[in-house]
Structure 1
Amino acid sequence: MEKRVLLMAISAFVVFLLCGAAHANPGIATFYTTYTPSACYGNQPEGVMIAAASDSLWDNGKICGQMFTVKCTGPRNPVPHPCNGNSVTVKIVDHCPSCPSTLDLSREAFAAIADPVAGIINIDYAPA
């Protein structure tokens, strides 16, 4: 009986972990190419795997420094099959006021998950 209860507890824990890991938010991504200055770090460079947050995520800069895993889920324009199946982890370093996207990725981060020719893509993003 104890073995069965332990097995059920382990199974429940595994399901809990899988459900938590699978939670992602849908959004839109674009890209930009000038990385400094930034709203979070001024003239201090923060590398190239970075992103700017839209107004809906900005929250007066509280999102600065947070990491997100981003994956392309499909096109938003006539460019067929922009996604390459990869995901990328980015650090929020800037604000993109009135952005048409949820995350404005660096060109390098965008290219890691999709063809930059697309310019705008559907994404799933989640805290890293």
Structure 2
Amino acid sequence: MEKTTLIFIGIVACLVSIASAKSGIATFYTEYVPSACFGYKPEGDMVAAAGDELWDDGEGCGKTFTVKCTRSQNGARNPCTGKSVKVKIADQCPGCPSTIDLSREAFAHIANPDAGIINIDYEEHE
């Protein structure tokens, strides 16, 4: 009985995680400082610039998101690595066509940079 209960709890946890993820688009950039959130203070390589919706008039500064590639936007074959990456919003990407503009290192962790633009699932950490 305990084994069945644990399996059920695991399945529910996975479904809740999938249900709370949002879909979007990611690109990448290479200049991380200065940033709108932290000025000239470096925040590492796993950072991102928020598109207008995630930026939310600066409320997005410092928020963290887990991002996973789901497929290519430009027809690149097999761009996704199958991994996810946790990034911190350090900057704004005003008028950006993407939901989130990842650092090149973060992008490369989840997809081949040659893809350039990818579809993603992302989830905010509380």
Q: TM-score, normalised by structure 2?
A: 0.87
Matched, 1:28 2:35: no
1:55 corresponding residue in structure 2 = 52
Deviation at 1:124, TM superposition (A): 0.2
Q: Which amino acid aligns with 1:86?
A: K
Equivalent position to 2:14, from 14, 18, 37: 18
User: What SS does the corresponding residue of 1:109 show, helix, strand or coil?
Assistant: helix
Seen in structure 2, the aligned counterparts of structure 1 residues 33 and 14 have a Cα distance that, compared at 3 Å, is: same
Q: Which amino acid aligns with 2:44?
A: G
User: What SS does the corresponding residue of 1:82 show, helix, strand or coil?
Assistant: coil
Task: Output the CA distance in 1 between the equivalents of 2:92 and 2:36.
Answer: 6
Q: Bigger shift: 77-86 or 100-109?
A: 77-86
- How many corresponding residue pairs? 122
Task: Output the CA distance in 2 between the equivalents of 1:20 and 1:127.
Answer: 14
User: What SS does the corresponding residue of 1:45 show, helix, strand or coil?
Assistant: coil
Considering only aligned residues, what root-mean-square deviation do their CA atoms show, in Å?
1.9
Alignment of 1:84-103 (within 5 A): 84-103=81-100
User: What SS does the corresponding residue of 1:65 show, helix, strand or coil?
Assistant: coil
1:4 corresponding residue in structure 2 = none
| Structure 2, unaligned runs of 5 or more | none
User: What SS does the corresponding residue of 2:37 show, helix, strand or coil?
Assistant: coil
Give aligned-pair identity as a percent: 57
Q: TM-score, normalised by structure 1?
A: 0.86
Task: Output the CA distance in 2 between the equivalents of 1:116 and 1:83.
Answer: 10
Equivalent position to 1:42, from 18, 39, 54: 39
Task: Give the 4+ runs in structure 1 shifted more than 2 A.
Answer: 10-20
Task: Output the CA distance in 1 between the equivalents of 2:117 and 2:11.
Answer: 34
